[in-house]
Amino acid sequence: RKEVEQDPGPFNVPEGATVAFNCTYSNSASQSFFWYRQDCRKEPKLLMSVYSSGNEDGRFTAQLNRASQYISLLIRDSKLSDSATYLCVGLYGNNRLAFGKGNQVVVIP
């Protein structure tokens, strides 16, 4: 079983709508979790860190639920430029990152 699991989608979202998706993790030893954004044929870029208390950055809200071992990302007022793959990532010992397959989001005009 992979350490981080995501439903790849795609998630087709009308422009202006809200979209939310989760990822689950199996290894509870993770020190931290992150959401990265990856555009087609590009490297991943850090979107935001994820905390149990939840954190918000503009239209993006991330939440960590350690009891249920899942991480969520919510995007409000979706823009066309939000179309990308969102990678759920756990940080483990020796600074090792474990990536999920990603949630592909397609914002439709």
Partner 1 sequence: GAVVSQHPSWVICKSGTSVKIECRSLDFQATTMFWYRQFPKQSLMLMATSNEGSKATYEQGVEKDKFLINHASLTLSTLTVTSAHPEDSSFYICSASRGTQYFGPGTRLLVL
User: Between residues 42 and 66, which has the closer beta carbon with respect to partner 1?
Assistant: 42
Stretch that binds partner 1, among 11-19, 57-65, 72-80, 92-100 (CB under 8 A): 92-100
CA geometry: angle 39, 45, 50, nearest 5 deg: 120
Does 31 bind partner 1 (CB under 8 A)? Our answer is no
By CB under 8 A, is residue 59 in contact with partner 1? no
Nearer to partner 1, 74 or 97 (CB): 97
107 CB-near residues (< 8 Å, 6+ apart): 13, 14, 15, 78, 79, 80, 81, 82, 83
Confirm or reject binding of residue 105 to partner 1 (CB under 8 A): no
Handedness of CA 20, 25, 29, 35 (dihedral sign): negative
Residue 77 DSSP class: S
Instruction: Indicate which single residue of 87, 90, 105, 107 sits in contact with partner 1 (rule: CB under 8 A).
Output: 87
Residues that bind partner 1 (CB under 8 A): 2, 4, 8, 41-46, 87, 94-102
